[in-house]
Amino acid sequence: MIYRHCIAPPRAYTQFSHDIIRHPRLSSDAVRLLTWQLSLPQGTRESLSRTAERANIGACAFTRAKRQLKGEGFVHERRVQGPGGHWVTQQLVSNVPLSAAEAAKLLGQVPVPASSPSSPQLAPSPRDPAVGEPTSPPTDGLPRENPCRNTHDRPPKPPEDCNGGQDRLDGRPELPAATPPHHEAARTLAAAYRDLDPALRHIPRPMLAELTNLTARWLAAGHQPAAIRAHILRNLPDDGTPVHRPGGLLRHLLSDVPPAQPAPSAQRAQPTAAPAPGHRPSPATSPTGALLSPRLAGTRECEGDHVQPTLFRPTGGEPLCPACAARRTPPAAAIAATRRPTT
């Protein structure tokens, strides 16, 4: 059993209808928001969001309570444009439900203020004008130069014609620029790098111009095309390692130009001693003049019967490798069996 004891407050009180306190479709937050607004002094312009903040009503609960009050007709809102172009949101709170027409009639009797103190962000902020004339943004989408040196995914930029494609002032047509020496030979040689080895089959075509310039430097230094190809093949990986960037590998191999070896004709012109019978040229230098690997220095080719050329390191100038020498030398037991006994 519940007992109630009520004492009428002598001041600061507000009379509410029982219909508001006992409303079946209003939540406790909606009732508290409505009664708080009705208890404010006459002429107070406190918004519903400020009342919810003072009453410790959260954002989600405030949205739900405001939707309930608007649905039951206790709260009405409208946006109007006042003097100076400012938009103002007007809110009407009543202690009895009102229709939309009745709320619009009451709100129409309230003058719109010149400025709203609750929304100072509507006033435009002062801005400094930009310097110069307005320009449109670039539309090409690509930089003028390639910022990365390692990737060559675009063809080289053609040389710009400073004359704009017009003829010379003296009436004669503009002559094409002179081609550097060895350029055509270097271009042909660089285009054939793909066929040297399967690892070089996927050289990017835009790198042809750069490889041509590097090859031209080798040709200008006196290197023969066969020596350049031998240099590339000698430095390819021979342990099955895949080459992911064959263009970058060729750029690395051709970037440093060593001094060229003397041509074979120049070597033959020099007086040399007569070679010994059965002597073969040292394989340290190929017939084209290209240097072979240092690990092959001091070796010679076997004169025996081999399917492929076989190199070995002689100890006393012998012309046969140990395997061929063993096959050609009969065993000592066979030699003793073939000898006739002496009487």
Task: Give backbone dihedrals phi and psi of 164, rounded to 5 degrees, phi first.
Answer: 70, 20
Classify 326 as helix, strand or coil. helix
Report helix angle 246-255 to 225-234, nearest 10: 120
d(CA 132, CA 268): 75
pLDDT in the model for residue 41: 87
pLDDT in the model for residue 174: 47
pLDDT in the model for residue 271: 46
Q: What does each C-alpha distance from 20 to 26, 76, 185 come to in angstroms?
A: 8, 17, 100
**Which single residue is written with the structure tokens 């006739």?**
340
pLDDT in the model for residue 66: 92
Find the radius of gyration of the CA atoms of the chain: 50
Q: Contact, 72 vs 23, CB < 8 A? A: yes
Question: What's at 128, amino acid-wise?
Answer: D
What distance lies between CA 272 and its chain's CA centroid?
61
**Which single residue is written with the structure tokens 């003829």?**
167
DSSP-assigned letter for residue 221:
T
d(CA 329, CA 159): 72
Q: Contact, 181 vs 221, CB < 8 A? A: no
Question: Average pLDDT per run of 10 along the chain, which is 343 residues long?
Answer: 82 84 91 91 87 92 92 90 80 90 86 57 63 70 59 59 46 49 85 85 87 89 86 81 86 86 52 47 47 70 77 84 80 50 50
d(CA 29, CA 69): 10
